[in-house]
Every structure is written in C-alpha cells, then in structure tokens.
Amino acid sequence: MKNPTTPFCSWNLFQKKVPNLQKRHGKPFLKKGFPLPTPSQKLLFSKSFFSKGFRTFQKILASLSLLTTMALCTSCSTPGRWQYHHFLTQEKLFFPEDKVQPEVAKKLRTKLTLAQVLQLVWQRNPSIKAARLRWRATIEKIPQATSYPDPILMYSYYVQEVETRVGPQRHSVSLTQKIPFPGKLTLQGKMASQDVRIARLITEKTIRNVFVQTKIAYYELLYIEKALKIYQKQRELLERYVNFAAGEHGKNNTKLSEVFKAQSLLAQSHYEILLLKEMRLAQQQRLRSLLALEANLELAPPQELSFQPFNVSLNELIQLGDRYNEELWIAREKVTKGAFALQLAKMSYLPNFQFGVKWIETGKAILSTPESGKDPLIVSAGLNLPIWWGRDAAKIDEKYYQLQALQQERTAVRQNLRSQISTAYFRLTNTERLVKLYAEQLLPQANQALVVAERRYREKVTNFSAMLETISVWLNFQLAYWRALVDYNQNLARLEQLIGQTIFLKKRRKP
C-alpha cells in the first residue's frame, strides 16, 4: 500500500512514466531519465510543504496542476505551431567565431575572389546574423498567439465556517479556464505565421542588400587597383620621356616648355598614385567591415573582371521583379495579414466561453445524517456578452481601412519597383555600350596611336607635345574603360537587387 502522505504527482511516479526524455530535450536528467526538478517544483511537491491538516488540499492541488499541464500541452497541438517548433528544433544557426581561421586568412592574402568574399559575408556579416536571429525570434510568436489564456486556480478560506445540513464548510478550491470562440485562436495563429513569413522576407532582403554592397565594394576596389596600375604605367612612360626630352633639349631639339609640361604631368601622376593608395586603404577597410574582419588583415588584390554582354529584356526584368522582389512580397504578406486581422475583428461579435470546477471541503455534521461530510463538486460554464456593438463596429472599420491602405501600399511598391527597374536597365545598357565602344574601338586605337607616336617622336617626325598628348589620351581611355566596366558590373548588381534574383549572363566567346 502506498504511503498516504506521498503526493499524487510525485517525482518518483513521473520518473517511471516518462522515459527517454534526455534524447528529446538535451537537459540534465536524473538516473531514471526524467529532468531535474527546479527548486520551485521541489518545494511544491515536497512532503513537508503542507501541514497535516492540508494533505487533502495537497492532493487536489497536485491533481489540478497535472490536469492544467495536460490541458496546456493539448492546446499547443495546432499544426502551425508544431511546424515551426520542428523548424526550431531542427534548424541550427551556425555563426562562426569573430576571429578568422588561419587558412581563411591565408587565402584572403593570396587570392581574393568574389565567390570567396560572398561566402564569408554569408557566414560573418553581423547584419545578416541579426536578421536571421530576428526571424527566429518571430517564430516564437506562434505558440504565444495560439495558446489559451492561463487558467486561474483559486483557494478560498472561510474565516467563519459555514454551517450546512451536511456539515461545516471550511475552505474551497476552484479552477477556471477561459476559451475563446472557435476560430479566433486559429486566426491569431495565421497572423503570427504571416509575421514569420515577413521576417523571413526581411532576412532575405538583408542578405540581398549586403551581397549587393559587397559586390559594389569589391568592384570598386578592383577599379582602384586597375587605376593604380595605369598611373604607374603612365609614370614609367613619363619618367623615360622626361629624361629623353631633357637630353634633346640640350641639343635644341625639344623646347623648355615641353619639358616643363612633361614634368608637371609626372608630378600629377605621383599625386594620383598617392591618392589612389589612400583610396585603396579606405576601400579595403570597407570590405573588411562587410566581412567582419580584423582591421589589420591583409587583403589580396581582386581578381580580373571579364565583360559579359547583357541579354535580358526590360519586360523580362519587370516580370522577374513582380515575381521575386522581397519588398513587393513583404507588401503582399502584409495585405494577407490585414485580411486575417479583419476576419478576427468581425468575430468580436461572438462570445468567449469560461468553464470552471469548484470543490468545497465539508466537515462532519454534528447530527449524523446520510450525507454528513460529503464534499460538493460544482461545475460552471459561462460566456461574455458582446453587447457594445458600437465598439466592435469601430474595430471592424479600423481593420477594413487598414487593409485598404495596405493594398494601396502594395500597388505603390509595385509601380515604384517597375520605375526603378527601368532606370537601372537604362544605366546598365548605357554602360554596356560604353564598354563595347572602348573595348572594340577606342582602346585599340589609343594603343596603336601610342606606338606610332613613340616611333615618330624618336624619328623626329613629330614634336614632344604631340607625344605627351598621346600619352594623356591613352591614359584617359584606359581609365574610362575600366570605369565603364566596373560601373557595368555595379549596375548589374543593383539590378539584381531590384528583381531579387541573380542574373546569369552568357559568357562572351573569344574571337
């Protein structure tokens, strides 16, 4: 026979009934497989917590606590909640340590590719980490929105005993539970699910924006490296021809003004090289910030950039934007959430229910009766009366106008998106024409003109001023070509940001 003083809901009983929890929860467990009780649980179910006169109340309290726990667990069985709960238990957000691994740092110092940079941005960027954590935090709204309110457990002690025919009544215990009208919790869960979808889209938007910023910074660093090499090449040419012109000036073959002009161009070239080196430091730090790298980590120069012609029409881009743009999808999900909010507001006219049970402890009657000392058990049910129709009608009107506003915002986002895509398409095609113009016509002509001018100057067919002018034209065309090529790839990245997809271009065949 069991000890009558042992609580009904003892920890020993739970340890026998609930096995294999360690694999499911990963918490510290007792030898028999049940999780260690908290201090408050130990206090609640200890044998010495209640005095001898309240052992009956101890049994009732433990039983009601068990029933309440079972009821709450049952209320969490909505499909949406468990779907996201499964996501929480299965998904592992991996955030590497802030310190870069030695092998990764070695790769960054030896070779810097765009794919490698984007992979590090995905793993290390703090903005992406924050967005993913906010998304995960939003998932926790679903069980909060779909669960019942906390039940109310009330103990009443009669200061003055109530004498009845069956005996004196000393104290009572009651348990009440409010239950919303069927369908309200479902709509609240759908609204919480919409918040999760919006948070996921915001996360994708953040990843997309950070990727675009990284591409733009990478391409800009590439342009600085190319411009630095071009100015260094110009400096070498000018130094060689300045020394040659100084010797020719002694022979009266070159004017002094032409020598001064060459020296001024050389000084300007030194200044541009110094300026570009400082710009390179700033742009490298910009890239380190996006990658969350140490400030003193050395970065290798970016890899060569190839030109691939753009082969997507404007109508196709607009269709892709309507299908994949995150801002537009966020506006759509907000409209869906607003529709659920309107449905929930219309249910304000429906009542909510309340159920309860009450037990009254009754002592033995003075006069012996057949039902002496019988404890009454009372079951109650009730509902609220939504009679303030004006308030509920105002709530419905509020949600209706909010839904209309969200629909107009969705239309505005779509129209603004199409305008931005058209502008980005014009900029992209314009830079594409410039790249083709410089690559196919101007650069070959400038290179050929530089070779011809050098030969004609050494043959004394032309003067030194014409030679300097040819070098300046060659320099400007080289800088303009790389500026157009970098702008083309940056505009392509901005266009991908608008349509929400990566544009895969066909590689240009080599002649």
Read off the pLDDT of residues 68-125 as tens digits, 9 standing for 90 and up. 444 444 444 343 444 444 444 444 454 545 677 777 888 888 889 999 999 999 999 9
Q: What is the mean pLDDT of residues 363-384?
A: 83
Say if residue 306's pLDDT is above 90: no
Collapsed DSSP state (helix, strand, coil) of residue 510: coil
Whole-angstrom distance, CA of residue 507 vs CA of residue 339: 46
Domains of the chain and CATH, by start: 77-147+183-240+280-302 (no CATH), 149-179+351-385 (no CATH), 305-350+401-500 (1.20.1600.10)
pLDDT band at residue 287 using 50, 70 and 90 as cut-offs:
very high
Q: Are 437 and 231 in contact (CB under 8 A)?
A: no
CA atoms of 206 and 210, how far apart (whole Å):
6
| Tokens describing residue 127 | 């903005």
Distance between CA 287 and CA 120 in Å, rounded? 11
Inter-residue contact 408 to 331 (CB < 8 Å): no
For residue 473, give both structure tokens: 């034209």
Query: Model confidence over 49-76: pLDDT tens digits?
Result: 334 444 444 444 444 444 444 444 444 4
Strands (E), 58-188: 152-164, 167-179
The residue type of 331 is A
What would the two tokens of residue 401 be?
């106008």
pLDDT for residue 318: 95
Q: Is 125 helix (H, G, I), strand (E, B) or coil?
A: coil
User: Which pLDDT value is given to residue 247?
Assistant: 58
Instruction: Give the residue among 100, 44, 46 at the shortest CA–CA distance from 68.
Output: 44
Percent of the chain with pLDDT over 90: 53
Helix or strand or coil: residue 366? Answer: coil
pLDDT band at 430 (very low <50, low <70, confident <90, very high): very high
**47 — pLDDT class (breaks 50, 70, 90):** very low
Query: Stretch 145-174: mean pLDDT, rounded?
Result: 88
Average pLDDT over residues 338-363: 94
pLDDT over 70, % of the chain: 76
Mean pLDDT computed over 43-47 = 42
Confidence of residue 39 (pLDDT cuts 50, 70, 90): very low
Euclidean distance between CA atoms 468 and 474, whole angstroms = 10
Listed residue (297, 258, 278, 270) closest to 117, CA to CA: 297
What is the predicted pLDDT for the residue at 57? 46
| Residue 101 dihedral angles phi and psi, to the nearest 5° | -65, 150
**Cross-sheet strand order for the sheet of 167-179:** 152-164, 167-179, 353-362, 377-383
Q: How do 152-164 and 167-179 pair as beta strands?
A: antiparallel
